[in-house]
Amino acid sequence: MVSRVIPVDTFDLVIFGGTGDLARRKILPALFRRFVAGQMGPGSRVIGAARADLDAEGYRQFTREAIEEFGNGKAYDPKELDAFLEALDFVTIDALGEDGWADLAKLLDVGKITAFYFSVAPRLFGELAERLHRFGMATPDSRIVIEKPFGRDLASARALNESLAQHFDESQLYRIDHYLGKETVQNLMAVRFGNMLFEPLWNAQYVDHIQITVAETVGVGGRGDYYDRSGAMRDMMQNHLMQLLCLIAMEPPAKFDPDAVRDEKLKVIRALDPVEPGDIVRGQYSETEELPGYRAHVGHPDSRTESFVAMKLKISNWRWAGTPFYLRTGKRLRARTSEIAVVFKETPHSIFGPEAGRHRNILTIRLQPNEGMDLGVTIKEPGPGGMRLVDVPLDMTFADALGPDAEDIPDAYERLIMDVIRGNQTLFMRGDEVEAAWAWTDPIIEDWEARRDEPQPYDTGSSGPDDSLALMFRDGRRWREIRA
């Protein structure tokens, strides 16, 4: 198999917040990898913008260090790094001030694709949009890339959408949920809609339930302040897990085109039933001998913010009525893993009798680590002794199946940035999608706040609070083990 690099047109990418953590860890290394892959052609430029007093040379040094630290440890030719750095420039700009804007406007080439990456705090989004407009840089061809979090509730998301809509059309807005850029997440669509095998079974008649788990081993790290105002529901559930749910549950779009896909995702969110309080479990990690607990970690001894949330969801439509979806995400859990498990029903009748045991097929899509999927198939246990059955995985680990090509799979940011340049919005969230997700999330959080709900403590290295296990046990089901 040969990796294909589809060239993109030359572009100017302006990174507001070009000296920030996200630019250093993700955006700049991703651009360098695309440069090495030959996708960022001569004439394309990356312009950092922030309040820092840097010149182009200073920004090149900043970027060199970022790539040395976060370049995935892959070997690269130093000459290629020098060539990439040549394409960099920097403008000192305050999103809230007037200086520097005219300099930026002069730097940009008319007629080239121009993308503005808003890698700054969301309170600056509207200010940036307004100044881009006022200084003549908001053209019908310009594109705006917006980082999460997109609001913290429906009202703030709406306000952000409105402030952007004053100067830009929805077709120019690229709201990032980096989960959508992951190779395996896109593979969800390929598996569902590129095979005859699964789609006829993909409904409540054949699927018993679906589990989505996104587990981390780390705690809140240095983001304590931000995280404590957000929690697992806002930080993970409303966006990443909701997007996975949409891709798993949506109807087949007529074509793989941005609005066709996003229309179907939106219908899933709108078909979600309100969640009963008894169908949600919130947790907070406790301290260990070596590590502080959540409250000490965020420096807020009375914090009621959740670092774990699990819930049972119902989708009220023809396809899914009667099939529950169980979602969970949390920090300081047993292993770092993200997976989706589609658990099929048992056969309606076992011709092998009770001694054959109970079996069901499970399609597991592993998003990380060890990206790939496996399908649990029931076969005869080898040897004499009657018809005993055993479940074995038909395993497809991408690294094995695709060989060396698997190593060249671009990471989420590489793919998403190139999609911005190509003008393809399929893997970005539309404004109405984000608002619908908040409209569903808001009553849940408001209920917790009104009841002053206390999250349950859970042990570091566990699978979350005991009640999250009970959430499935009481339905006669069990979570899949969290393991790397």
- Site residues, ligand NAP (CB under 6 A): 16-23, 50-52, 93-96, 119-122, 124, 147-149
CB-nearer residue toward ligand NAP: 124 or 396:
124
What one-character DSSP code corresponds to residue 87? T
CB-nearer residue toward ligand NAP: 54 or 373:
54
Which residue minimizes CB distance to ligand NAP? 20
For the bound state, the minimum distance from the C-beta of residue 28 to ligand NAP, rounded and expressed in Å, comes to 11
Q: Buried b / exposed e across 129-144, counting CB within 10 Å, b at 16+?
A: bbbbeebebbeeebbb
Calculate the alpha carbon distances from 120 to 31, 137, 163 in Å: 18, 18, 16
CB-nearer residue toward ligand NAP: 51 or 319:
51
CB-nearer residue toward ligand NAP: 147 or 435:
147
Whole-angstrom distance, CA of residue 63 vs CA of residue 459: 39
Three-state DSSP string of 204-223? CCCEEEEEEEEECCCCCHHH
Helix (H, G, I), strand (E, B) or coil at 185: helix
CB-nearer residue toward ligand NAP: 177 or 306:
177
Single out the catalytic residue among 178, 209, 240, 359.
240
Whole-angstrom distance, CA of residue 130 vs CA of residue 133: 5
- How many CA within 13 A on the CB side of residue 169? 7
Q: Are 146 and 174 in contact (CB under 8 A)?
A: yes
CB-nearer residue toward ligand NAP: 19 or 337:
19
Helix (H, G, I), strand (E, B) or coil at 235: helix
CB-nearer residue toward ligand NAP: 231 or 324:
231
Is 297 marked active-site? no
Whole-angstrom distance, CA of residue 142 vs CA of residue 13: 10
Bridge partners (DSSP) listed for residue 123: none
For the bound state, the minimum distance from the C-beta of residue 119 to ligand NAP, rounded and expressed in Å, comes to 5
For the bound state, the minimum distance from the C-beta of residue 104 to ligand NAP, rounded and expressed in Å, comes to 11
Q: Which of 389, 393, 392, 370 is nearest to 380 (CA)?
A: 389
For the bound state, the minimum distance from the C-beta of residue 228 to ligand NAP, rounded and expressed in Å, comes to 14
For the bound state, the minimum distance from the C-beta of residue 280 to ligand NAP, rounded and expressed in Å, comes to 25
Whole-angstrom distance, CA of residue 186 vs CA of residue 83: 32
What would the DSSP string read from start to end of 354-365? GGG-----EEEE
Whole-angstrom distance, CA of residue 152 vs CA of residue 230: 7
- For 47, counting Cβ atoms within 10 Å of its Cβ (0-12 exposed, 13-18 middle, 19+ buried), the class is buried
For the bound state, the minimum distance from the C-beta of residue 124 to ligand NAP, rounded and expressed in Å, comes to 6
For the bound state, the minimum distance from the C-beta of residue 176 to ligand NAP, rounded and expressed in Å, comes to 8
For the bound state, the minimum distance from the C-beta of residue 250 to ligand NAP, rounded and expressed in Å, comes to 25
CB-nearer residue toward ligand NAP: 152 or 480:
152
Bridge partners (DSSP) listed for residue 213: 328, 339
Calculate the alpha carbon distances from 33 to 30, 117, 413, 415 in Å: 5, 18, 10, 11
Catalytic residue numbers read: 240
